[in-house]
Amino acid sequence: MKGKERLKIIKSKAILKEIRLKDLYIHFGYTSYEGFKMAILENRKNRYYETLEFLENI
Interval 4-55: pLDDT, tens: 999 999 999 999 999 999 999 999 999 999 999 999 999 998 999 999 999 9
Using pLDDT thresholds of 50, 70 and 90, give the confidence band for residue 3: confident
Gyration radius from the chain CA atoms? 10
Cβ of 57: how many Cβ atoms within 10 Å? 6
Q: How many CA atoms lie within 13 A of 13 on its CB side?
A: 17
pLDDT given at position 54: 95
pLDDT given at position 2: 87
pLDDT given at position 35: 94
Using pLDDT thresholds of 50, 70 and 90, give the confidence band for residue 1: confident
